[in-house]
Structure 1
Amino acid sequence: MNASYLSLSYWDVGLAGLFLVLNAGLSIWLRLGLARQIAVAAGRMVVQLLLIGLLLKAIFAIQSPWLTAGVGLAMIGFASREVWARQERKLRGPWGFALGGAAMALAATLVIVVGLSALIQPQPWWSPRFALPLFGMILGNALTGVSLALDTLSATLDRERRAVEAQLLLGATRWRALRPVTRRALRSGMMPIINSMAATGVVSLPGMMSGQILSGVDPTEAVKYQLLIMFLIGGATGLGVLLAVLGGVRRLTDARHRLRLDRLRAASPEAG
C-alpha cells in the first residue's frame, strides 16, 4: 500500500471538523448548553495535538534518554492533575495530588520498562518513538481507572460512614471494616478497561491496530501488537487502581483504626 495515498491535508481535517460544528448547532437548537464546551474542547485538542506533533518530531530527532524521561515525567504531572480535578471530594493537602499520581507513575513505569526492555525490544530500548506513544496509552487508561476508583472510594465512604464506623466501634480493623467499600472502588476503577478489552475486535477496532493496517502492516501482525498493548494497559491499570485504592484507604483511616473523613475536602459545586 502506498503511504502517500493515505496522506491528509488540513482541508480534509477541517471538513471532518464540520461534524463537531453540527453537534454545537444541535446543542444550541436543543438548548443543551454544550456548544461552548464543544468549541473549547475541540480548540484545545487542536492546539495540543499540533504542539505535541512538533515536540515529538524534535524529540525523535534528538534521541536523548534524559529528554524522553523528562517528557514522561511531564505526562505524569498532567495526568496527576487530571485525576485530582476529577474527584468530587479531594484529599486535603498534597495527598490530593500525589496519591493518584504516585499510583499511576509506579504502575505505568513498571509496565513500560518491562514492555520495552523485555518484549518489544527497540534499539535503544528507551527509544522515544516507541516509549512515549506507548507510555501515553498506558497512562491515559490508568488515569481513567484511578480517578474513578478514588472518586468511588471517597463518595462511598461519605455515604456509608455510619455503617463503617459501627464496625470499627465493634472492634473491626480498618481493613476489615472498609473491605466492601474497597471492593466497590476496585471494581469501579477496573470496569472501563474490562469493558474495553471485551469490546475490542468485535465492537471496535483500536486506533493503533487500525493505523497499522491502513499503513500496510499485515493484519495478523497488527493484531499481535494490539494484544500486547492491551495486556500492558490492562496490567498497568489494574496495578495503578490497586495502589491508589489501598493508599486512599490508608489515608482515610489512621493507626488507631478510626475513619478520618476530615482529611477530605467538602464537595465543590463544579466538581465533575
Structure 2
Amino acid sequence: MQIFLTYGDIALASSLIIIVLLISWRLRLKLSKTLLIAAFRTIIQLSFIGLILAWIFAREQWYEVLLILTVMTLIAGSAAKNRVKRSYKGLLTDTLLAVGISAILVTAIAIIAILNVEPWYTPQFIIPILGLILGNSLTAISLTSNQLIESFHEQSGRIEMMLSLSAKPFEAVHEQIKAAITNGMTPTLNSMLVVGIVSLPGMMTGQILAGADPTQAVRYQIVTMFLICVSSTLGCTISALLIYRRFFNKKDQFILLQ
C-alpha cells in the first residue's frame, strides 16, 4: 500500500509544532521565535528544492545536475566553516577542499562502481546520495576542525615544548590531530552502532513508507552507512592535515593563526 500525502496532511503535521511552542513557553526556553523561523524555512526550502528537483529529474541534463552538485558542495563547505568558533584566513578553502574531495570521491565510487548507474548523472541517484554524504561529512569536518584549532590554541605551550625537544611538527601535534579526528567520527560511529536496533535511518524509513521492498531498503541503507563512514573519515583526515599545515610555516615553526 502506498499513501500519498496531501497539503492537509502536511498542515496537520505542522500543527504539532504547537506542542513544542507550549513547552518552550512554559519552561521559558525562549525558543519560540527560532522555532517558528526554523519551521517556516523548512517548508519553504524543501518545497523550493522539490520544484527544482522535479524539473531536473524531468530534463536529465548533465550540466544542470553538475551545477546542483557544485552548489550543494559549496554550501556544505561554507556551513562547515561557519560552525568553527575560531576562524582564520583560509579556513573556508580548507573546509571546501575537505568536504569536496571526500564527498565527491565517495559519491563517484558509489555511482560508478557500486550502483553502476547509467548515465552517471542520473539525478534521482547522484543528487540524494551526494546530499546524504555532504550532510554527514560537514558535521564530522566541523567537529574535527573546531576541536583541532581549539587544542592548538589551548596547548600551544606543550606543542612548542615538544618542538624544542627536537620533535617533528607532526609528532608535536599528533595527539591533537588524533583526538580531533576521533571527535569528528564519533557521531557517525554512534549511529552505526545502533542503526536498525534503536533507530531506523531516514533514507530507509522514507523508502519503506513510499512502498519499497524492506529488504531493498535495508540494502540501500547499509551501502549509504558505509559511504557516509568512509566520506566522514576522509573529510576529517583531510581537514586535520590542512589545518595542521596552516599552523606551521615553511621553517616548521608553530604559529597561532587568528
Q: TM-score range by the shorter chain?
A: over 0.9
Question: Given residue 62 of structure 2, which amino acid in structure 1 is its aligned partner?
Answer: P
The 1-side partners of 2:127 and 2:215 are apart by 24
Show the counterpart of 1:55: 52
Question: Given residue 106 of structure 2, which amino acid in structure 1 is its aligned partner?
Answer: V
Given that 2:65 and 2:123 are in contact with CA atoms closer than 8 Å, whether structure 1 keeps it comes out as yes
Show the counterpart of 2:146: 151
Q: CA deviation at 1:29?
A: 2.2
Paired residues for 1:167-178 under 5 Å: 167-178=162-173
Show the counterpart of 2:176: 181
Q: Structure 1 length normalisation: TM-score?
A: 0.92
**1:250 maps onto 2:245 in alignment:** yes
Deviations 1:215-261 (A, max 9, x none): 33222221111101111111111111100011111111223222221
Structural RMSD (CA)? 1.2
**1:69 maps onto 2:66 in alignment:** yes
Show the counterpart of 1:101: 96
The 1-side partners of 2:206 and 2:187 are apart by 23
Given that 2:152 and 2:176 are in contact with CA atoms closer than 8 Å, whether structure 1 keeps it comes out as yes
3-state DSSP of counterpart to 1:24? helix
Which among 155, 161, 171 is matched to residue 160 of structure 1? Answer: 155
The 2-side partners of 1:44 and 1:23 are apart by 16
Deviations 1:6-51 (A, max 9, x none): 1111221122122322212221221112111111111111111000
The 2-side partners of 1:83 and 1:104 are apart by 8
Given that 1:104 and 1:240 are in contact with CA atoms closer than 8 Å, whether structure 2 keeps it comes out as yes
Tell me, which stretches of 5 or more residues in structure 2 are unaligned?
none
The 2-side partners of 1:215 and 1:35 are apart by 32
**1:40 maps onto 2:2 in alignment:** no
Q: CA deviation at 1:99?
A: 0.5
Given that 1:108 and 1:138 are in contact with CA atoms closer than 8 Å, whether structure 2 keeps it comes out as yes
Deviations 1:173-203 (A, max 9, x none): 1100001100111001111110111111001
Q: Structure 2 length normalisation: TM-score?
A: 0.96
Deviations 1:105-127 (A, max 9, x none): 01111111111011112221220
Show the counterpart of 2:21: 24
Show the counterpart of 1:270: none
Paired residues for 1:187-202 under 5 Å: 187-202=182-197
The 1-side partners of 2:46 and 2:210 are apart by 20
Given that 2:60 and 2:121 are in contact with CA atoms closer than 8 Å, whether structure 1 keeps it comes out as no
3-state DSSP of counterpart to 1:17? helix
Given that 1:168 and 1:257 are in contact with CA atoms closer than 8 Å, whether structure 2 keeps it comes out as no
Given that 1:153 and 1:181 are in contact with CA atoms closer than 8 Å, whether structure 2 keeps it comes out as yes
Figure out how many residues of one structure are paired with residues of the other and give that number: 258
Show the counterpart of 2:127: 132
**1:204 maps onto 2:202 in alignment:** no
The 1-side partners of 2:10 and 2:55 are apart by 23
Question: Given residue 134 of structure 1, which amino acid in structure 2 is its aligned partner?
Answer: I
Question: Given residue 10 of structure 1, which amino acid in structure 2 is its aligned partner?
Answer: Y
The 2-side partners of 1:216 and 1:75 are apart by 28
